Structure 1
Amino acid sequence: MNKQVKLFSLLFSAIALMMACGTDQSEPTVEGTTEDGFRYNIYKTGSSNDLPQPTQYVYFKAGVLLDDTSVLQPLSDIVRFQIPADTTPVDQVNPIVNILQQMSVGDSANVYVDLDSIPQAKMQFPDNKYINNYFLVQDIVDEETALDAIAKEKEENMIKMQKAKEKSGKVDSLVGLYLDKYKKGELDSDLQKLESGLEIYTIEPGSGDPVGNNQVEVHYWGVLEEDGKMFDNSYDRGMPFPLTVGAGSVIKGWDEGVAKLHPGEEALLFIPSELGYGEQGAGGDIPANADLVFFVEVLKKES
């Protein structure tokens, strides 16, 4: 893997979940070029001048734009990144370390990646010149503090996983019950019917604004409408599914349906084949022209 592709991969793996971003400053405080040849700007807007030291963790948010105008990946939740120890070999140091080491809490930065240097990306975005990776430093903490927080999150996630697995049987029963009612026409008066053919039935209402084209985490249980056979679900894995709604990374029925749900809502999406996997189906579990039913639980973000 060459260095250009390496940086591109590192940036995208670090900022998998994201919101729209950019900078308001017209003139950067620091301008430079990484050893790999990528141009960057740093905007020193924080109130502190304390820079991260080796083994400390930088907490930042990040996002990706195409040519400063089009949002490719919206601003992420907090990402933790440890500044390597002084003893770390230079060739093992992530290219973004040099930039983060120049930033204090509240500072922001842009890293520009020329798309011509990444053939795979240029094929996907032929009309764009570069990718603008945007960073905003939220905090700088010592290693002990970061590791304590990571351990606490792992413990909390284990509890969440167990609860999700325990809910699996209940969801299975609910889907079977409501699918039977749907086929008998008993849900017709309560269905939200969209022009596309998608139908939505709310089991437990949520609150707040609809999800829209934003990032969200969901649990789901998918079955074939014809016989109710389950082909995939997140509950048995215990892990929610992260989704950027409207990005085209899932079937059309999901992009359209989840956008209309609310945080905390539990609903059924009745998805016609053309909004699902169509004539090609999906593997051996979803045949061609299969109508699908998904139970979707939109998880609320913790404050």
Structure 2
Amino acid sequence: MKKYLLLLLIGSSFLTACAQDQFQRTSKGTMYKNFTNNTGDRIKVGDIVTINAIQKTDKDSILYSSYKGAPIKVQVQAEGDMMDVLPLLTLKDSAMIKVPTDSLFKDPHAQRPAFFPKGSSLIILLHVEKIQSLQEAMAEREADAAKKQADEVTLVDKYVADHKLTVITTASGLKYKVVQAGIKPKPIAGDSVYVNYVGHTLEGKIFDTSYEQVAKSAGLQQIGREYEPLKFVLGQQGIIPGWQEGILLLNEGSKATLIIPSKLAYGDKAAGPDIPPYSTLVFDIELVKVVRSKAAAPAAATKKPAAKRTTKKKTTTKKTTVATKKQQ
């Protein structure tokens, strides 16, 4: 936070100074001012650069700040105002880029925001945090992913132990516990299923439910939503793999807990503020109803021609034919 405020103060003072000092221009005409001029290798096209940035109007109104979230990682390209300036910088450099908004709204049909009147500028303040080659960035990402996956396994094992759960683990890594077994058959791919559920993180944070009262208690109630069992067709896209696999293991009417690892859920992607990357999810579910898919009617059995048996009686020369049906 102190770093963020300090940069704002620095940015404001530089804006005042730049009103008098002339900006430099790149070979492509982008206006910029480098505040630091550190020594070291400069950024190259193709590098992966981690930066913190603030976007503001030339009246000092902040439009965006990465300091309120996370630093930005970008691969340096050959085109663009910021991309034009990055190759002039090195590690820990800070710079200001001035982009005339008239160049951003050349299309007469484009909607120009009121805070960007004609003749105004977009100001970008940036600080270079890290410079990597593509290979270095990929290696870092893979190492980070491996660590998060290992941490995820540790957290799941702790959750199971802390809650004294006896679970079955499938080959895919799905863990489940049947709380109440149903007596009707299990569904198969293609069947439509109706499922009530409460989804929460390992920390107990509820992020979704089909029960209205649970949604109210968790502060998740959505106006206009009908709280009822979720209906979907097993095997169709749109449902995470952990659900697809888990529900196939249950008889209709069953209640169960599914502990779904991230690789069977959202993987390395976030799914809203409560589900960061590499999150194991827990679902308490009830398989309320199964509607069997309409399988193609089996072809009618073809009857074999009736066999004919001729019986000769000794007392007469008349032939009697008896048609018999062969038992199928």
The two structures have a TM-score, normalised by structure 2, of 0.41
The two structures have a TM-score, normalised by structure 1, of 0.44
Higher radius of gyration, 1 or 2: 2
**Which has a greater percent of helix?**
1
